[in-house]
Structure 1
Amino acid sequence: ITYFSPLLNCRHFCNDTQISEFILLGFSEEPELQPVIFGLFLSMYLITVFGNLLIILVVCSDSHLHTPMYFFLSNLSFVAICFTSTTIPKMLWNIRTQSKVITYEGCITQIYFFLLSAVLDIFLLTVMAYDHFVAICHPLHYTIIMNPQICGLLVLVSWIMCILNSLLQSLMMLQLSFCTNVEIPHFFCDLSQMTQLVVRCACSDTFLNDTVIYFAAAILGGGAFTGIIYSYSKIISCIRRISSTQGKYKAFSTCASHLSVVALFYCTVLSVYLSPASTHSSQSNITASVMYTVVTPMLNPFIYSLRNKDIKRALRRFIGMASLKCQLTSG
Structure 2
Amino acid sequence: MGCAPNASHSPVFLLLGFSRARVPPALPFLLFLAIYLTTIMGNVTLVLIISRDSRLHSPMYYLLRGLSVIDMGLSTVILPQLLAHLVSNYPAIPAARCFAQFFFFYVFGVTDTLVIAVMALDRYVAICDPLHYHSVMNRQLCACLLALCWVVSIVHTMLHVGLLLPLYWAGDAEGNVNLPHFFCDHRPLLRASCSDIHSNELAIFLEGGFLMLGPCSLIVLSYIHIGATILHLPSAAGRRRAVSTCGSHLTMVGFFYGTIIWVYFQPPFQNSQDQDMVAAVMYTTITPLANPFVYSLRNKDVKSAFHGLLGRGRVDS
TM range (shorter): over 0.9
In the alignment, the residues of structure 2 paired with residue 49 and residue 256 of structure 1 have an alpha-carbon distance, to the nearest angstrom, of: 23
1:213-254 CA distance string (max 9 Å, x none):
222222211111111011001100110111110010011111
Runs of 4+ deviating beyond 6 Å: none
Compared CA separation, residues 166 and 281, structure 1 to 2 (3 A): closer
SS in structure 2 at match of 1:102: strand
1:127-179 CA distance string (max 9 Å, x none):
00000000000011111111111111111111111111112211221111111
- Of 251, 257, 261 in structure 1, the residue corresponding to residue 252 of structure 2 is 261
Equivalent in the alignment of 2:186: 191
Equivalent in the alignment of 1:218: 209
- Of 69, 84, 92 in structure 2, the residue corresponding to residue 93 of structure 1 is 84
Equivalent in the alignment of 1:272: 263
Compared CA separation, residues 276 and 206, structure 1 to 2 (3 A): closer
Task: Verify the 8 A CA contact 2:209 2:265 in the aligned structure 1.
Answer: no
1:76-122 CA distance string (max 9 Å, x none):
01111111111111010111233210110011001101110111000
Task: Verify the 8 A CA contact 2:11 2:171 in the aligned structure 1.
Answer: no
How far is the alpha carbon of 1:275 from its aligned partner? 4.2
In the alignment, the residues of structure 2 paired with residue 100 and residue 216 of structure 1 have an alpha-carbon distance, to the nearest angstrom, of: 32
In the alignment, the residues of structure 2 paired with residue 313 and residue 26 of structure 1 have an alpha-carbon distance, to the nearest angstrom, of: 42
SS in structure 1 at match of 2:93: strand
The AA in structure 2 aligned to 1:121 is D
- The reply on whether 1:228 has 2:219 as its aligned counterpart is yes
1:27-59 CA distance string (max 9 Å, x none):
234585200010000000111111011100110
Equivalent in the alignment of 1:3: none
In the alignment, the residues of structure 2 paired with residue 51 and residue 303 of structure 1 have an alpha-carbon distance, to the nearest angstrom, of: 11
Compared CA separation, residues 121 and 186, structure 1 to 2 (3 A): same
The AA in structure 2 aligned to 1:142 is Y
In the alignment, the residues of structure 2 paired with residue 217 and residue 31 of structure 1 have an alpha-carbon distance, to the nearest angstrom, of: 35
Map 1:230-309; keep pairs closer than 5 Å.
230-275=221-266, 281-309=272-300
The AA in structure 1 aligned to 2:61 is Y
Q: Which has the larger radius of gyration?
A: 1
Equivalent in the alignment of 1:4: none
In the alignment, the residues of structure 2 paired with residue 209 and residue 32 of structure 1 have an alpha-carbon distance, to the nearest angstrom, of: 35
The AA in structure 2 aligned to 1:151 is C
Task: Verify the 8 A CA contact 1:27 1:283 in the aligned structure 2.
Answer: no
- Of 157, 173, 176 in structure 2, the residue corresponding to residue 166 of structure 1 is 157
In the alignment, the residues of structure 2 paired with residue 167 and residue 279 of structure 1 have an alpha-carbon distance, to the nearest angstrom, of: 27
Q: Which runs of 5+ in 1 are unaligned?
A: 1-6, 327-331
How far is the alpha carbon of 1:61 from its aligned partner? 0.6
How far is the alpha carbon of 1:280 from its aligned partner? 6.1
How far is the alpha carbon of 1:324 from its aligned partner? 1.9
SS in structure 2 at match of 1:175: coil
The AA in structure 2 aligned to 1:60 is S
In the alignment, the residues of structure 1 paired with residue 166 and residue 157 of structure 2 have an alpha-carbon distance, to the nearest angstrom, of: 15
Alignment coverage as a number of residue pairs = 313
SS in structure 2 at match of 1:33: coil
Q: What's the RMSD between the two structures over aligned residues?
A: 1.7
Higher helix share: 1
Q: Which runs of 5+ in 2 are unaligned?
A: none
In the alignment, the residues of structure 2 paired with residue 99 and residue 321 of structure 1 have an alpha-carbon distance, to the nearest angstrom, of: 47
- Of 13, 29, 45 in structure 1, the residue corresponding to residue 6 of structure 2 is 13
Identity %: 36
